[in-house]
C-alpha cells in the first residue's frame, strides 16, 4: 500500500505542491532581517511538506505551528527510558503523542468531510482507497497511525539532508554556479527566474549534475548511521559464522568511508558520480544512503525529489551567506546535523534584477 504513495505518478502530482511549499519557505527566510537557524527551519519545512503535500491537510498556519511544537516534543522523547513518572521524558512523550493524535484526528475528519477542490490524490487518499480495494476500510486509529508514520518518515532525515545541502553549497560556491549553468542550459533558469512549466519530473531527471550533487551530499552526510536486519539463514562472513535469528546491524557511514571505489572520501566532490567516473557503479553495496535489498527505504525517490526541488530553488531564486565566522561542528546523533543548527542570512532577490549573481560575484555572495 505504501509503495503506491511513492510511485512515479504520485511523485508527479506532489511536485507542484512541493515547489510551492519550498518557495513560500524561502520567501519567509529571505524576509527575515536576522540570520536563521537552518536546521530548525528545515525541520519546520519538512514537517510542513508532510502535512500539506503528503497528507493534504488544510491546517491554518498558526495551528500548524502549534502542532509542529508538539511533534518536536514527541520526537525528542521517542527514545526515552520507559519509566512512567511525572516530568519524565517518557511521560512528556506520551502526552505529546496524545495531543498530536487529537490534532491529526481533527484534520482527518475535516479532510474526509471536505473533498471539494482536490486536484491531486495525496498519500492519505491513496491509503484510504487502498484499504477499500482490499475490502477493509481503515479505522480512525489506523489512519492516525498511518499519518504519524508518514510524518515521522519524512521529517528528521530530510531536514538533516536539506541542512547538509545548504551547508555544502555555502562551502563550495563553484558547485552552486555549476548547478546554475546546468539549469540555464536545460532552459529551466532564464533571466533569474524559473521558466513556467519547466519543472516536471522528466526535466528534473535530466539534470545530471544536480543528481551528482544530491548523491554526494547523501554519501558524505548520510542522515542515519545504519540499519538492522534479522538473519534468515545461518551464513559465514570473513570466517565468522552468523547464526539464524540473530540481529545484525550494518553501518552506512562506515561503508561509505571505507568503500574502495571512492577516492578522497573526505572531499565533497559531486563529479565522482559523473559519467566519466561513476564511482558508485562498481559494486552493488558501496553506496547505500537509503539502505539496500528488499527493505530499502520506500520514500527514497520522494526524498531525492524534495532535495532536488530545494536545490533548484536555492540556485535560482536565492542568495545566502554564512552568518558566523566559521562553519559549525557536525554531530551524528540522532541524525547528522550542525551542533548550533547553522546560522545563515538569506536575501530576497529584487523582482527588477535580470539574473541572479554569476561568476565571482556569486562566489562572494555565497561565502562569508
Q: What mean pLDDT value characterizes the chain? A: 90
Strands (E), 265-358: 319-322, 330-331, 337-338, 343-347
Q: Which helix (H) or strand (E) holds 1?
A: none
Locus of grid cell 530548525 = 40
Contacts for 116 with CB less than 8 Å, ≥ 6 apart = none
Q: What is the pLDDT of residue 315?
A: 95
pLDDT at residue 364 greater than cutoff 80: no
CATH superfamily of 4-56+122-219+301-348: Cytochrome P450 (1.10.630.10)
Phi, psi (rounded to 5 degrees) for 280: -85, -5
For residue 251, list its beta bridge partners. 226
Percent of the chain whose predicted confidence (pLDDT) is above 90: 74
Instruction: Return the minimum-mean-pLDDT range out of 96-105, 124-133, 204-213, 224-233.
Output: 124-133
Whether 321 contacts 359, CB under 8 Å: no
Phi, psi (rounded to 5 degrees) for 141: -65, -40
pLDDT in tens, 249-291: 999 999 999 999 999 999 999 999 998 898 988 788 899 999 9
Strands (E), the chain: 36-37, 189-190, 193-194, 226-230, 235-237, 240-242, 247-251, 319-322, 330-331, 337-338, 343-347
CA distance 161 to 224: 10
Q: Whose CA is closest to 179, among 202, 203, 207?
A: 207
State the cell numbers at 217.
551530499
Q: What is the pLDDT of residue 202?
A: 94
CA distance 151 to 127: 14
Q: Is 261 left (phi over 0), alpha (psi -120 to 50) or beta?
A: alpha
3-state DSSP assignment of residue 247: strand
pLDDT in tens, 164-200: 999 999 999 999 999 999 999 999 998 878 888 888 9
Percent of the chain whose predicted confidence (pLDDT) is above 70: 95
CA distance 294 to 298: 10
pLDDT in tens, 129-163: 888 888 888 899 999 998 998 999 889 999 999 99
Contacts for 194 with CB less than 8 Å, ≥ 6 apart = 183, 188, 312, 313, 316, 317
What pTM, to 2 d.p., does this model score? 0.91
Domain ranges of the chain: 4-56+122-219+301-348
193 is in an annotated binding site: no
Local confidence band at 355 (pLDDT 50, 70, 90 cut-offs): very low
Strands (E), 56-100: none
Contacts for 64 with CB less than 8 Å, ≥ 6 apart = 48, 51
Local confidence band at 76 (pLDDT 50, 70, 90 cut-offs): very high
Amino acid at each position: 500500500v505504501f509503495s503506491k504513495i511513492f510511485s512515479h505518478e504520485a511523485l508527479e502530482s506532489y511536485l507542484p505542491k512541493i515547489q510551492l511549499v519550498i518557495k513560500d519557505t524561502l520567501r519567509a527566510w529571505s524576509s527575515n532581517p536576522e540570520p536563521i537557524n537552518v536546521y530548525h527551519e528545515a525541520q519546520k519545512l519538512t514537517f510542513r511538506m508532510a502535512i500539506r503535500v503528503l497528507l493534504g491537510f488544510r491546517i491554518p498556519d498558526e495551528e500548524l505551528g502549534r502542532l509542529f511544537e508538539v511533534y518536536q516534543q514527541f520526537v525528542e522523547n521517542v527514545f526515552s527510558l520507559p519509566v512512567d513518572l511525572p516530568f519524565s521524558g517518557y511521560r512528556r512523550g506520551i502526552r505529546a503523542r496524545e495531543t498530536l493524535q487529537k490534532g491529526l484526528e481533527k484534520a482527518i475528519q475535516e479532510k474526509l468531510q471536505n473533498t471539494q477542490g482536490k486536484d491531486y490524490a495525496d498519500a492519505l487518499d491513496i491509503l484510504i482507497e487502498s484499504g477499500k480495494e482490499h475490502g477493509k476500510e481503515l479505522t480512525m486509529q489506523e489512519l492516525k497511525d498511518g499519518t504519524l508514520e508518514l510524518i515521522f518518515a519524512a521529517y528528521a532525515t530530510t531536514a538533516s539532508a536539506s541542512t547538509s545541502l545548504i551547508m555544502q553549497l555555502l562551502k563550495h560556491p563553484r558547485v552552486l554556479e555549476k548547478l546554475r549553468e546546468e539549469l540555464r542550459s536545460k532552459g529551466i533558469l532564464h533571466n533569474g527566474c524559473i521558466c513556467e512549466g519547466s519543472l516536471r519530473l522528466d526535466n528534473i531527471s535530466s539534470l545530471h549534475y544536480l543528481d551528482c550533487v544530491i548523491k554526494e551530499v547523501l554519501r558524505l552526510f548520510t542522515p542515519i548511521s545504519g540499519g538492522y536486519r534479522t538473519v534468515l539463514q545461518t551464513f559465514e562472513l570473513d570466517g565468522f559464522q552468523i547464526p539464524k535469528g540473530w540481529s545484525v546491524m550494518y553501518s552506512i557511514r562506515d561503508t561509505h568511508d571505507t568503500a574502495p571505489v571512492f577516492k578522497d572520501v573526505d572531499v565533497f566532490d559531486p563529479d565522482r558520480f559523473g559519467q566519466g567516473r561513476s564511482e558508485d557503479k562498481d559494486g552493488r553495496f558501496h553506496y547505500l544512503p537509503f539502505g539496500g535489498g528488499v527493505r530499502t527505504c520506500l520514500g527514497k525517490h520522494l526524498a531525492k525529489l524534495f532535495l532536488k526541488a530545494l536545490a533548484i530553488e536555492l540556485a535560482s531564486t536565492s542568495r545566502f551567506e554564512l552568518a558566523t565566522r566559521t562553519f559549525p561542528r557536525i554531530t551524528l546523533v540522532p541524525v547528522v546535523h550542525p551542533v548550533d543548527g547553522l546560522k545563515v542570512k538569506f536575501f530576497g532577490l529584487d523582482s527588477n534584477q535580470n539574473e541572479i549573481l554569476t561568476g565571482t560575484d556569486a562566489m562572494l555572495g555565497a561565502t562569508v
